[in-house]
Amino acid sequence: MVCAVEVDEFVTDKVLPEYRGVVAELRALFRKEAPGAREVMSYGLPMYFQSKSAFAWISPNQKGISLGFREGVRFEDRYGLLRGSVKHARHLQIKDLAGVDKPALRYYIKQALKLEKAPRAPQAG
């Protein structure tokens, strides 16, 4: 179930006007590529859940929109767009609609969904 009203309010209140089109495009892409995912406001951001944990999120900032993936470190980064240095997550930065590489985004979303369905390997430790 999508909490569109809450996410719509977030976009209106927290996303700079010049980046709202990017967020709309990303949300449409998630609806198409991850139809079983739930779009939920969590930790103050729109997040996408397939099971208990969010597998992706949209985060606005002064430089554009960051699209994050919880298990991004495990992705094959064919397009070389993923950034970040935290233990698991990776993100990509999008400034405008011309910068939205739809094939790359579809590819990343599909990887996130595939990893979400796969059992996690035990962590060393």
Residue 34 DSSP symbol: -
Local structure of residue 85 (DSSP, 8 states): -
Q: Which residue has the tokens 């993936």?
A: 69
Q: Which CATH architecture has domain 4-112?
A: Alpha-Beta Complex (3.90)
pLDDT tens readout for residues 91-104: 999 998 787 788 99
- CA 4 from chain center: how many Å? 16
91 vs 85: CA distance, rounded Å: 10
Predicted model pTM: 0.87
> Strand, helix or coil at 40?
strand
Of the candidates 115, 120, 113, the residue with the CA atom closest to the CA atom of residue 36: 113
The token pair that represents 48 in the structure block: 């996408």
Mean pLDDT confidence for 7-25:
94
Please, how many CA atoms are within 13 Å of residue 103, restricted to the half-sphere of its CB? Answer: 3
Model confidence over 75-86: pLDDT tens digits? Answer: 999 999 999 988
Residue 83 DSSP class: B
Quick one: average pLDDT of 108-114? 95
Residue 49 phi, psi (nearest 5): -120, 135
Tell me the percentage of the chain whose pLDDT exceeds 70: 89
Give pLDDT tens digits for 37-46: 999 999 999 9
Distance of CA 48 to the CA centre of its chain: 7
- Report whether 84 contacts 72 (CB < 8 A): yes
